Amino acid sequence: MIITCPNCNKQFKIDNSLIPVEGRDLECGSCNHVWFYITEEEKNETLQLRDEIKNKEPEIENNNKENKITEKQQSLERNKTKIKNEKILNKQKNNNVSKGRKNEGSKIFAYFLVFIISFTALLILLDTFKTPLINVFPKLEILLFNLFETLQDIKLFIIDLT
């Protein structure tokens, strides 16, 4: 079946067995909008036969038995899909909670990594262009010397820790 997101009108093809008769919450993969969706029920009306017709046509009685059997099978399948859908929803909720926690930690680590790489690149540029910078800014020599000495001390401290 094709389902359309009410927020962004994006259409998705979804297997009928994933949506129980009672309906379920759906989330748009494009805009992350969540809404409750109920499938339109198919009318499965059973034929009510009179005694006269039953006596005349025994094949119709067999068809009714087959219809009842298929209805029972369909109800069993609906119950199974309902249970599966509930399990899937529980897993998705658990994954969303854990993804939120993982994303926070990974974002902080990513920012820290970018900061270290940027700082290292700045140090390499300062070291490379030290002489031209000192010629333009004479007082910068003392600052650069102190910076590089501090970095050397930090390096020795880290080596001593290991």
- Do 107 and 57 lie in a common domain? yes
- Do 70 and 112 lie in a common domain? yes
Domain that holds residue 2: 1-41
C-alpha distances out from residue 123 to 111, 115, 134, Å: 18, 12, 15
Instruction: Quick: pLDDT tens for 87-96.
Output: 887 777 766 6
- Do 55 and 122 lie in a common domain? yes
- Do 100 and 114 lie in a common domain? yes
Environment class of 13 (CB within 10 Å of its CB; exposed 0-12, middle 13-18, buried 19+): exposed
Instruction: Quick: pLDDT tens for 51-77.
Output: 555 555 555 556 666 777 788 788 878
Q: Read off the pTM.
A: 0.34
Give the per-residue pLDDT at 21.
Answer: 82
- Do 71 and 137 lie in a common domain? no
- Do 120 and 135 lie in a common domain? no
List, in sequence order, every residue forming a beta bridge with 35; answer none if it has no partner: 26
- Do 144 and 155 lie in a common domain? yes
For 35, residues 6+ apart whose C-beta sits below 8 A from its C-beta are: 5, 6, 7, 25, 26
Give the per-residue pLDDT at 150.
Answer: 92
Question: Total structural domains in the chain?
Answer: 3
Give the per-residue pLDDT at 44.
Answer: 45
Give the per-residue pLDDT at 69.
Answer: 78
- Asked, for residue 151, whether it belongs to a domain, the answer is yes
- Do 120 and 133 lie in a common domain? no
- Do 75 and 20 lie in a common domain? no
Whole-angstrom distance, CA of residue 117 vs CA of residue 25: 43
Q: Confidence class of residue 101 from pLDDT cuts 50, 70 and 90?
A: low
- Do 56 and 115 lie in a common domain? yes
Is the confidence at residue 45, as pLDDT, over 70?
no
Q: Confidence class of residue 118 from pLDDT cuts 50, 70 and 90?
A: very high
- Asked, for residue 58, whether it belongs to a domain, the answer is yes
68 by DSSP, 3-state: which?
A: helix
Q: Where do we find the tokens 């298929």?
A: 70
- Do 162 and 95 lie in a common domain? no
Average pLDDT over residues 20-34: 86
- Considering only CA atoms, give the Rg of the chain: 35
- Asked, for residue 46, whether it belongs to a domain, the answer is no
Is the confidence at residue 138, as pLDDT, over 50?
yes
Nearest one of 26, 24, 37, 19 to 77, comparing CA atoms: 19
Better-scored residue on pLDDT, 50 or 153: 153
DSSP state of 18: G
- Do 19 and 80 lie in a common domain? no
Provide the mean pLDDT of the chain. 79
